[in-house]
Amino acid sequence: MTTYIIRRLLIMPITLAGVTFLIFAMMQILGPVERSALYVRDVPKTENQINAIIERYGLADPIHLQYWYWLVGRRDPQTGETIGGILRGDLGFSRTGREPVIDMLQRRFPATLELALWSMIPIIAGGIWMGMKAAMNHNKPIDQISRIFATLGWSIPTFVLGLLLLLVFYARLGWFAPGRLSTQFALEVTRPGFTQYTKMMTVDALLNLRFDIFMDALNHMVMPIITLAVIQWALLLRVTRSSMLEEMRQDYVRTARSKGLKERTVVNRHIRRNALIPVVTIAGATLAGLMNGVVVTETIFNYPGLGQMAAEAAVTLDVITMLGFALFNGILFIGAYLIVDILYVVIDPRIRLS
């Protein structure tokens, strides 16, 4: 198992290098003049200012040098200090947020992470449970209903479902307001008596023993969670059902049943364990996608996470923020798939010998 994990860890730097190269290649669509605006807080007004920025950051140098400068930084020819370099945390300056991109990502990420973690509970539990029930009742009414639900859930656009939930629950019933916190509690969490340990409102509320803030934060996440869960339920249901049905036809299942094992034992110890392997892949990708920030969902419900940040940057053509968001996405997906590879070993011990 240790050798397997070490091999996966050794592959990560190569994959990360590939991601950075692709992001850098996307930047080359812009010329040196356009890219010069990505490194300063204010747009240069004169040709001399633009040329000074191009010279300072080496934007007219050979492309391999530009990649190196963008990756590790460049020594300023005038002051001698190191400037730029994504490995140093310099992802540029966001015109949308009027702050460095790295600061914007750090400020927005806890909100998206909180939403992702809460969403994964009903997504995984509900999707796997419904998929298993459908498979165990193959071609029965519960299976037919599950298949119809999966088709409808996968067909409904996210923005349509989100707007319907807003119309019914918030506009008509006055439940589950959009945003992250009510105005009253949003002011309280900024006061000295409330300590923000993690920047995740539900976690910090519990650590501060403020159950009223916890319930308010959870109340604001109900509709985004439902929106994300319905779409992902459809996918996990179909994958789990197909995987379960495939495993149920295997020879080892017939052998286990012929030995007189109870059906519950056959399902729990044999079928479900092997059927979960493709499900883990989908679940890992789902978690990474949620942590990246679901752009449409966060925008509809005015949830201040990475998705809303990306939407605002796209509308204002804030290229440097979008590239920072894309780089952050790539790193998250690489980390998520590393976790998936490790879980493979836990679920299927045969992989340890491969």
44 found inside a domain: yes
Q: Are residues 205 and 311 in the same domain?
A: yes
Read off the pLDDT band of 348 (50, 70, 90): low
pLDDT above 80 (res 264): no
Read off the pLDDT band of 352 (50, 70, 90): low
Q: Are residues 160 and 272 in the same domain?
A: yes
Residue type, 2: T
Q: Are residues 114 and 90 in the same domain?
A: no
Q: Are residues 79 and 142 in the same domain?
A: no
| pLDDT in the model for residue 201 | 92
Q: Are residues 142 and 288 in the same domain?
A: yes
| pLDDT in the model for residue 134 | 87
Q: Which has the higher per-residue pLDDT, 347 or 310? A: 310
Question: 3-class secondary structure for the chain?
Answer: CHHHHHHHHHHHHHHHHHHHHHHHHHHCCCCHHHHHHHHCCCCCCCHHHHHHHHHHHCCCCCHHHHHHHHHHCEECCCCCCEECCHHHCCCCEECCCCEEHHHHHHHHHHHHHHHHHHHHHHHHHHHHHHHHHHHHCCCCHHHHHHHHHHHHHHHCCHHHHHHHHHHHHHHHCCCCCCCCCCHHHHHHCCCCCCCCCCCCHHHHHHHCCCHHHHHHHHHHHHHHHHHHHHHHHHHHHHHHHHHHHHHHCCHHHHHHHHCCCCHHHHHHHHHHHHHHHHHHHHHHHHHHHHHHCCHHHHHHCCCCCHHHHHHHHHHCCCHHHHHHHHHHHHHHHHHHHHHHHHHHHHHCHHHHHC
How far apart (Å, rounded) are the C-alpha atoms in residues 24 and 169? 44
How far apart (Å, rounded) are the C-alpha atoms in residues 222 and 225? 5
| pLDDT in the model for residue 221 | 93
99 found inside a domain: no
Torsional sign, CA 50, 52, 54, 60: positive
pLDDT digits (tens, 9 = 90+) for 85-134: 888 888 888 888 888 888 899 999 999 999 988 998 888 888 888 888 88
pLDDT above 80 (res 274): no
Mean pLDDT of the chain: 83
196 found inside a domain: yes
Q: In the listed set 41, 71, 94, which residue is the last one of a domain according to the structure? A: 94
Q: In the listed set 41, 67, 94, which residue is the last one of a domain according to the structure? A: 94
pLDDT digits (tens, 9 = 90+) for 1-53: 677 677 778 888 888 888 888 888 888 887 787 777 677 666 655 778 778 88
- Residue 63 to residues 14, 29, 68, 217, Cα–Cα distance (Å): 20, 12, 9, 47
Q: Are residues 195 and 295 in the same domain?
A: yes
Instruction: Give the Cα-Cα-Cα angle 164, 165, 169 (nearest 5 degrees).
Output: 125
Q: Are residues 286 and 220 in the same domain?
A: yes
Q: Are residues 30 and 119 in the same domain?
A: no
Q: Are residues 6 and 141 in the same domain?
A: no
pLDDT digits (tens, 9 = 90+) for 296-308: 888 899 999 888 8
CATH assignment of the domain containing 236: 1.10.3720.10
Q: Are residues 196 and 221 in the same domain?
A: yes
Give this prediction's pTM.
Answer: 0.83
Host domain of residue 288 = 104-353
Q: How many domains does the chain have?
A: 2
| pLDDT in the model for residue 354 | 53
Q: Are residues 109 and 215 in the same domain?
A: yes
